[in-house]
Copies of this chain bind each other. A is one copy, B any other.
Amino acid sequence: MSTIPAASDAVVDLLALLAYTELVAFDRMAADARLAPDLHRRAALSEMAALEIAHYGRLAARLGELGVNAEAAMVPYVAPVSAYHEQTEPKDWLEGLTKAYVGDGMADDFTREVAGVLPAGPDRDLVLDVLHDSRHGDYAAEEIRAAIAVDPRVANRLSMWARRLVGEGISQAVRVAGERPALASLLVSGPEPDLQVLLRRLTIAHTTRMAAVGLNN
């Protein structure tokens, strides 16, 4: 069990990253809900946001159990996560939904990859538990598909928007990896230590997700 100290650092990094991501996602989604064209849709995005803050609460509680000050542990992620959201502020409802669909999808893929290399135990269970509810992704997907059916030009606009989300997401992920080496090394500590293979897998998942709603990568 000589890997425990390093794994613990990385796990704390991961829990704190997820916690801060959820805290900010709550705030941003709550704001994006105002872009909804009606109260029903507004409530749908608000409910997605609420789940993020519930997840935040569980992650912060776990950090507390591990004797970690959640707030201090989240500090390294404030700048990259804020930068991501500042560069990807949705201008309308469909951009907001696409951000939820594409961004949450990518975040979940990444999280699942990391969870795969964590030792079995409460932390891995928690990380898998705070993945986004698939109902929410399905809802966003349906809305995007419906909008494209009404006006096919929407697909082009949202495809470009999704590329911007991916670009900004990757650029901030690289920044995080550079600043948190324990977290980064976790990703390449599993049975598949080849970062190229991992990136290819994430890319395929993203392309499939885009195609599922009629967007081009």
The residues of A with any CB-CB pair to B shorter than 8 Å are 20, 23, 26-27, 30-31, 33-34, 38-40, 42-43, 46-47, 49-50, 53-54, 56-57, 60, 70-71, 74
Contact = CB atoms under 8 A, between A and B. Distances in A.
A46 B42 CA distance: 17
A42 B47 CA distance: 18
A71 B36 CA distance: 13
Given A49-B53, A53-B50, A56-B46, A74 B34 contact: no
Contact of A43 (B42, B46, B47, B60): B60
Contacts of A56: 43, 46
Given A23-B46, A43-B56, A46-B56, 10 more contacts: A23-B39, A23-B43, A27-B30, A27-B34, A30-B30, A39-B71, A39-B74, A40-B71, A43-B53, A46-B53
Nearest to A50: B50
Contact of A50 (B40, B43, B54): B54
B47 A53 contact: yes
